[in-house]
Amino acid sequence: MNANTLERRATSVPALSGAASAYLDALRAIAANLVVVSHIVLIHFNGSIRYGGGSIAVSLFFLLSGFLITQSMLNWQKRPGPRLPGFLADRVARIITPYVPALLLITAANVLFITTKWGAPEINTGVRPFVGNLLMLQDHSAFQFLEMLRFDIPWRIRPYNTAEPFWTVSIELWIYVSVGLFFFCVLCREPVRRRYLWPLVALSLPVVIWNAAAGGGKSLTLIWLLGAVAGCALARLTSGGDRRTGWMAFWLVTFGAAGLVGRAAKVGFDGYDLQTVALIAIVVFGVLIGLANVRSVPPLLERACRFFASYSYSLYLIHNTVLIVVWELTRDAAPRWVSILSGVLLSHVVAYLLYLAFERHYRHVARWLRPRFERALVPKRAEPGAASALPATSTSRP
């Protein structure tokens, strides 16, 4: 299949229905708050309470990411080329716009308010880890591979100090880079300058491979790909205009729920277990298919879902630091429940302010990045108005 055939077969992704959009928003908001609860358990109860919500939340994030980013790539495929620079600019902007300010806030909080030790010097505190987090090198697969080989690597970069949730953000970014290169350069045959192609491949591909079988989430790459498959399937299903999806949704949800109960009864529930996550995905996307033709939901419910989802990424980034600051300030002066409640409320307030000040403006950042990425990535011989087909020996390989 050549690039022209792909262009003709490109699937235009219809807009999600009002109910489907509200459902996805609700999942994002719920997942972010499940992570908040997981860090409450660690901070206030020293992890003594068994709680698996954090792993479920991370798996949900990666499922939804795979689903939504795949649909985004399908939409980009319909545009005149080159598409890769614009896609990467959008993804980088979406991640870094609140990420960099959050990292600066976390650094300030650790200097001004936090006195207890939440890390080791020069591994997740100090200048080197700070710069490493800016470059999205925290917990890079190269560090983990060397550690597995028992190499002494005191310079390994971890998420900066109390920014523990940052470990998944770097994985997400490098997955975006890797799948973007594969989709646009290999499948769509867009050219990329070699001086940038190979460094991007060298940084991103090991992360994708490592996290298919190891890493903190055991198989986050494969979980992301489950979402990607669902994104492709739903795009084709809805683009055909078939409205007879009710029974399909019913049987998917029934099968997935029954399998999930059986799996949990037999081996227990692990939110990172690939088989468990596959069954969760069947339920999650089965419900989504069922809602695909529900055009609207009660306005109040829709607004609530949209509101809590809007700052869910900022909440994910900043909540752990806010919880720790509140814990340090109140642990000897207030009951535990007051500290927990205050920490949760303040986490939401700070996250929403971070969203208002930075996150919601990511499209402006993307527009600023796009021409710069295009100048850097697109060879001068490539025509700006269309994707160029390359011979097999060219830079079309990731």
Amino acid (1-letter code) at residue 140: H
Nearest in space to 311 (alpha carbons), one of 362, 365, 368: 362
Give this prediction's pTM: 0.90
Nearest in space to 174 (alpha carbons), one of 222, 136, 134: 136
pLDDT above 70 as % of the chain: 89
The per-residue pLDDT for range 135-174, each reduced to its tens digit, is 999 989 988 888 788 887 766 788 998 999 999 999 999 9
Q: How many CB atoms lie within 10 A of CB 180?
A: 24
Report the alpha-carbon distance of residue 118 to residue 279 in Å, rounded: 36
Q: For residues 78 and 357, which has the higher predicted lDDT (pLDDT)?
A: 357
Cβ-proximal residues to 271 (8 Å cutoff; 6+ apart), any chain: 52, 53, 54, 55, 56, 57, 58, 59, 277
pLDDT above 90 as % of the chain: 67
**Residues 63-89, mean pLDDT to the nearest whole number:** 94
Report the alpha-carbon distance of residue 255 to residue 268 in Å, rounded: 18
Report the alpha-carbon distance of residue 120 to residue 382 in Å, rounded: 48
**pLDDT of the residue at 145:** 85
The per-residue pLDDT for range 41-59, each reduced to its tens digit, is 999 998 888 898 999 999 9
pLDDT at 231 over 90: yes
Amino acid (1-letter code) at residue 298: P
Q: Which of 205-214, 230-239, 270-279 has the lowest mean pLDDT?
A: 230-239
pLDDT at 11 over 70: no
**pLDDT-based confidence at residue 393 (cuts at 50, 70, 90):** very low
Which helix H or strand E contains 19, and what residues bound it? helix 18-45
The per-residue pLDDT for range 334-367, each reduced to its tens digit, is 899 999 999 999 999 999 999 999 999 999 999 9
**pLDDT of the residue at 14:** 74
**Residues 15-35, mean pLDDT to the nearest whole number:** 95
pLDDT at 395 over 50: no
Taking CA atoms, 335 is separated from 45, 48, 96, 342, in Å, by 13, 18, 37, 11
Q: Residue 167 in 3-state DSSP?
A: helix
pLDDT at 114 over 60: yes
**pLDDT-based confidence at residue 13 (cuts at 50, 70, 90):** confident
